[in-house]
Amino acid sequence: MPPNVRFEIDDCTQPWTWPENTFDFIHMRYLFGSISDWSALIREAYAACAPGGWVQTAEVEVDYISDDGSVRPDSAMAIWGHMCRVAGPKMGRPFTILRDGLQRKGMEEAGFVDIHEVNFKVLGFLAVVEELLPVDLDHTRSPWADGPSIPSWPRWDGSCSSGLRTI
């Protein structure tokens, strides 16, 4: 790992323990169903982000759909999406982050400027990785880390298409 990179793990639903202006880059993803107050989370990220730094958050829709109709309404994946949408309000932790615009709303409320929102049609895990990382997934190792090659990472190669939004 490069000497200027470190990973920090903490409970993001609690007040953050880092001083203001600590990080140049904060990445959050797949937090759907775990955050009760997205605006509070993003305010904490804003405070911890150094001037000129970036906060990136990537979430997915819980509804699995397919262009060819292969994800039927009675399929396990469709039922899972429905159950998440029903359970979120009962738990006070929404799964409908994209549908409800919670990322953008939180970013705007926190004071972020130059907000970029990108929507992907997800064809499987590797389709997203190919879009986001500067690597050739079939032939190379990550150019920025000395570790396992991308093809050995766990994969989600479903044929379902759903939405991923990164801000």
pLDDT in tens, 4-17: 888 877 899 999 99
- Domain span at residue 78? 24-143+152-166
**124: pLDDT confidence band, cut at 50, 70 and 90?**
low
Higher pLDDT, 8 or 57: 57
**Sign for the pseudo-dihedral over CA of 145, 151, 156, 158:** positive
Domain assignment present for 43: yes
Domain assignment present for 11: no
Domain assignment present for 10: no
Domain assignment present for 17: no
Query: Which of 17-26, 89-98, 114-123 shows the lowest per-residue confidence on average (mean pLDDT)?
Result: 114-123
- Is the pLDDT at 143 greater than 60? The verdict is no
Domain count, the chain: 1
Q: What is the C-alpha separation between 1 and 85, in angstroms, rounded?
A: 39
- Residues whose CB falls within 8 Å of the CB of residue 30, separated by 6 or more in sequence, listed in order: 58, 59, 60
Domain assignment present for 8: no
Q: Highest-confidence range of 96-100, 126-130, 151-155, by mean pLDDT?
A: 96-100
